[in-house]
A and B are shown apart, each in its own frame.
Chain A
Amino acid sequence: MSAPYNQQVELAALLTAAALPTDPEVASRYTPPYRYILGADPWLAAGQTTGQWVGRFRVVCVTAPGTTDVQAAQLANMTRAVILALRGTRFAVQGVAVTQPSEMATGSGTSLGASVNVATPISRAEFEGED
């Protein structure tokens, strides 16, 4: 695997290890609440230093179906938990931290979803050494 997908998988593993089960991409079946990761735009960009890259991701959080107030509270809890779990790791929450919530149709009904915007520097050695 190559960057930035390697780092996307690493991000999912890190969140899962922090008791926040997360898939590195969209799975075929889900039972809400759940989390998965999408590449952001740009997925990969030139970084701050001369040799560095930056991988950007969206951690999508989807609540269980329920009333609007319960879903909103659950969504805030889910996105906050992701932000707290990433403190002190290589993954940095971006200035636009959490996107506007939106309704998402899931197999169990209508859920509320939002994305946590995350990025990580990828070193030249890391980028060129992966395959």
Chain B
Amino acid sequence: MVGINGRVGIVLIDAVDRSDEALSWSFEGGAKQTFAQMRNVVPKVVIMKIVQDDAANTLYSLALAANGTTKTGVYKPRGNAAASVSQPHYTFNVEPSGPTTATIIGGDAAEDATQALTVDVAWQITSWTKVTA
């Protein structure tokens, strides 16, 4: 058995591989108030730390636009091309919104200039489907 690690996973949003734009992604259940919600293990929000890159159609541009337009997404935890029972994919719809951090743009100087500045986002997920084939 090989567990999921943080380097091989791929997230596609709006049909674009976001591997080079995100430092982390976490699909979380969100706030739960009822017993039904407590039993529900379907993610309701994706929390990501993303690179500040204001080119067209980047995650950061989608965050700054925050226009409520739903985007399609695919999460491939193991980065495998085709989904299977042992290595499933997950499809979802997501609503981009603005940064949750105080920082909207900018940040500290870094010694290593390959380290891009980042912001955090928490985008609502409106559907979630496990794909095994």
Cα–Cα, bound, A92→B109 (Å)? 13
Question: By the criterion CB–CB under 8 Å, are B114 and A49 in contact?
Answer: no
Given the known interface contacts A124-B17, A125-B17, the answer about A49 and B23 at a Cβ–Cβ threshold of 8 Å is: yes
Task: Tell me if B's interface is mostly helix, strand, loop or mixed.
Answer: loop
Interface centre among B10, B17, B113, B115 (most CB of A within 10 A): B113
Given the known interface contacts A124-B17, A124-B19, A125-B17, the answer about A50 and B112 at a Cβ–Cβ threshold of 8 Å is: no
Contacts of B115 in A (CB 8 A): 48
Contacts of A95 in B (CB 8 A): 111-112
Question: By the criterion CB–CB under 8 Å, are A54 and B20 in contact?
Answer: no
Given the known interface contacts A52-B20, A124-B17, the answer about A94 and B25 at a Cβ–Cβ threshold of 8 Å is: no
Question: By the criterion CB–CB under 8 Å, are B114 and A50 in contact?
Answer: no
- Chain B residues within 8 Å of A, Cβ to Cβ: 6-7, 9-10, 17, 19-25, 51, 111-116
- Chain A residues within 8 Å of B, Cβ to Cβ: 46-52, 54, 92-95, 119-121, 123-125
19 CB-based A-B contacts, threshold 8 Å: A46-B7, A48-B23, A50-B24, A50-B25, A51-B17, A51-B19, A51-B20, A54-B114, A92-B112, A93-B113, A94-B113, A95-B111, A95-B112, A120-B114, A121-B114, A123-B20, A124-B17, A124-B19, A125-B17
